[in-house]
Amino acid sequence: MAKVDPSLVAHLPLFAGFKGEELDEILREARSARYPKNGHVFEQGGDAHSFFLLLHGHIRAAKTTPTGEQIVVRYVAPGETFGLAMAIGLAQYPATATAVDDSVVLAWPTGTWPRLVQKFPALATNTLQTVGARLQETHTRVLEMSTQQVEQRVAHALLRLAKQSGKKLDHGVEIDFPISRQDIAQMTGTTLHTVSRILSGWEQLGLIEGGRQRIILREPHKIFVLAEQNAGGGQA
Amino acid sequence: MAKVDPSLVAHLPLFAGFKGEELDEILREARSARYPKNGHVFEQGGDAHSFFLLLHGHIRAAKTTPTGEQIVVRYVAPGETFGLAMAIGLAQYPATATAVDDSVVLAWPTGTWPRLVQKFPALATNTLQTVGARLQETHTRVLEMSTQQVEQRVAHALLRLAKQSGKKLDHGVEIDFPISRQDIAQMTGTTLHTVSRILSGWEQLGLIEGGRQRIILREPHKIFVLAEQNAGGGQA
DNA sequence: GGCTCGTTTTGCGCTATCGCAAACTGCCGG
DNA sequence: CCGGCAGTTTGCGATAGCGCAAAACGAGCC
């Protein structure tokens, strides 16, 4: 219904190199949709009927094991695409997408992708860059999980969240959407309990301030130091 | 020099949907190169001068931390592309590629990519699929590292290696290139020692047979069971 | 204003896995 | 044929982090 102002999205990586009228044509194919907090945009295993661009809000993409355990694949911030399953050759979504805040998305039916890509090859190369960047990030995540202790991984995770979705405060940065200790545990490969212990410790030290699904980094720099330093003693 | 027979590579995912003469044109841009066992194809941080297609042999892609720890990102089997750094927008290689066996590659100078993609947009979409598949695999890896014990992760790793590069034997499957316990540790996020203990245990049970940089899966099915089963007791 | 439920905190024992050290082994080079 | 060395095995503490249990807390609802 309500059309999206092209100028609002023209600068996004997905549309890099597009003229106004091309952009128009692409946007015409999308419909916009609103999801309330905790609403499901799509579910793991469901048919990949659409791909999305987040306009407002925040989306959590999570993957579930057969035994019911979950990990958070990533948090989607406004301006990012998600649900690209079909673009990478999948017929079903490999993860579940849930709005963690009231969110507004642009959705293109899967069927439009081949046509759009054919007409606008730059869409494919732009998407390739995006997916490639995510691959790099995921490799970094594997590297961290392999070589760092939980405390450092949590520190890195918070810094990334702050960078991606941080709201600057007078003193510190607040993560701009509701996120629980459990969520952080699922991002870093640990347990709710361990995250809680770590954050409590940091709060004692005045590094952060926490609340119910809220985290404020009061001393980002000190957390950065924590994240980088080798646990205990390094190799001489 | 020696031209590559197009029919040998025509069926690869990278070239899906290409006619013979298009293929020819693409192949003409590549040069082939040979790397001896343990030769470096490129190094992490080095300028991304080329992208590659592996024709023969096996390549190990590994990422190193500032402190010198490594993880194996993946093993490249013949027919797969690697070193796609520039296609995904990187100017430097994010990992080091080493031949684990005498290997032959096809190499395209980075500069050819934009031109090739412009002329053959399907290259971009094919590559997108490939990179997307790798992203999925990496997410699976994160999931495993987050939710499974070391023994199961090792089992999964061996099964994947066997599937990708296994040589069928009378009784069992042999991994077709030299791979050390250390390598497996770096694939699963554990230590050389733990891998050695696990494999020794399995060898006792007759599940595998090992040697210096060699692994034979004698009972793939039993290993599969090991890989899938929840450690200890699952939830009732 | 009081209640309820989801989130967070915290205590405590347990153990999978690490980390170090040392012995062993099969290949490769000379 | 004889070292020497990289890769492997194994033993033995040390411990980070898990898992369970329970209490404290706080936001929203009635």
Where would I find the beta strands (DSSP E) of B165-213? 166-169, 172-175, 208-211
Q: What is the structure's pLDDT at A231?
A: 61
- Nearest residue in chain B measured CA to CA from A121: B121
In this predicted structure, the answer to whether residue B229 has a pLDDT above a threshold of 90 is: no
Residue B2 in tokens: 């020696």
More confident residue, A6 or B138: B138
Q: State pLDDT tens for residues B168-212.
A: 998 999 999 999 999 999 999 999 999 999 999 999 999 999 899
Q: What percent of chain B has pLDDT over 90?
A: 92
Q: CB–CB of B132 and A90 under 8 A?
A: yes
Q: CB–CB of A230 and B89 under 8 A?
A: no
Please, are residues B152 and B188 in contact by the beta-carbon 8 Å criterion? no
A68 interfaces chain B, CB cutoff of 8 Å: yes
- Cβ-proximal residues to B27 (8 Å cutoff; 6+ apart), any chain: B3, B4, B6, B9, B106
Average model confidence (pLDDT) across chain B: 94
Q: State pLDDT tens for residues B9-41.
A: 999 999 999 999 999 999 999 999 999 999 999
Band (B73; pLDDT cuts 50, 70, 90):
very high
Q: CB–CB of A69 and B127 under 8 A?
A: no
* Low-confidence residues in chain A, pLDDT < 50: 233-236
Minimum CA–C1' distance nucleotide for A231: D16
Please, are residues B58 and B173 in contact by the beta-carbon 8 Å criterion? no
Residue nearest to nucleotide C20 (CA to C1'): B193
Please, are residues B151 and B198 in contact by the beta-carbon 8 Å criterion? yes
> What distances in angstroms separate CA B92 from CA B89, B96, B110, one per listed residue?
9, 11, 11
What are the chain A neighbours of B89 within 8 Å (beta carbons)? 129, 132-133
- In chain A, CATH 2.60.120.10 covers 6-144
In degrees to the nearest 10, what's the CA dihedral of B161, B167, B168, B173?
-40
Q: DSSP H helical segments within A65-180, as ranges?
A: 112-119, 121-147, 150-165
Minimum CA–C1' distance nucleotide for A189: D17
Q: What is the structure's pLDDT at B3?
A: 66
Q: What percent of chain B has pLDDT over 70?
A: 96
- In chain A, CATH 1.10.10.10 covers 148-228
Band (B231; pLDDT cuts 50, 70, 90):
low
Q: What is the structure's pLDDT at B9?
A: 92
- Å between CA of A213 and C1' of C3: 22
Q: What is the structure's pLDDT at A8?
A: 81
A168 sits in which H/E element: strand A166-169
Amino acid at A212: R
A49 interfaces chain B, CB cutoff of 8 Å: no
A64 sits in which H/E element: strand A59-64
Please, are residues A98 and A41 in contact by the beta-carbon 8 Å criterion? yes
Q: Determine the topology of domain A6-144 in CATH.
A: Jelly Rolls (2.60.120)
A184 sits in which H/E element: helix A181-188
In this predicted structure, the answer to whether residue B111 has a pLDDT above a threshold of 60 is: yes
Residue linked to tokens 């009972």: B219
Q: Measured between alpha carbons, how far is A139 from A92 in angstroms, rounded to an integer?
A: 23
Band (B235; pLDDT cuts 50, 70, 90):
very low
Residue A180 in tokens: 């629980």
Footprint of strand C on the protein (CB under 7 A): A 180-182, 192-193, 196-197, 199-200, 203, 210, 212-213; B 149-151, 189-191, 193-194, 211-212, 231-232
Q: Which nucleotides of C are covered by protein (CB under 7 A)?
A: 6-11, 16-21, 26-27
Minimum CA–C1' distance nucleotide for B148: C16
Band (B234; pLDDT cuts 50, 70, 90):
very low
Q: What is the structure's pLDDT at A7?
A: 78
What are the chain B neighbours of A146 within 8 Å (beta carbons)? 69, 71, 145, 186, 189
Amino acid at B144: E
Minimum CA–C1' distance nucleotide for B231: C16
Multiple choice CATH, B148-228, 1.10.10.10, 3.90.1150.10, 1.10.4160.10, 3.40.50.300: 1.10.10.10
Q: Measured between alpha carbons, how far is B37 from B102 in angstroms, rounded to an integer?
A: 4
Q: What is the structure's pLDDT at A235?
A: 35
- Nearest residue in chain B measured CA to CA from A118: B121
- Cβ-proximal residues to A167 (8 Å cutoff; 6+ apart), any chain: A173, A174, A175, A176
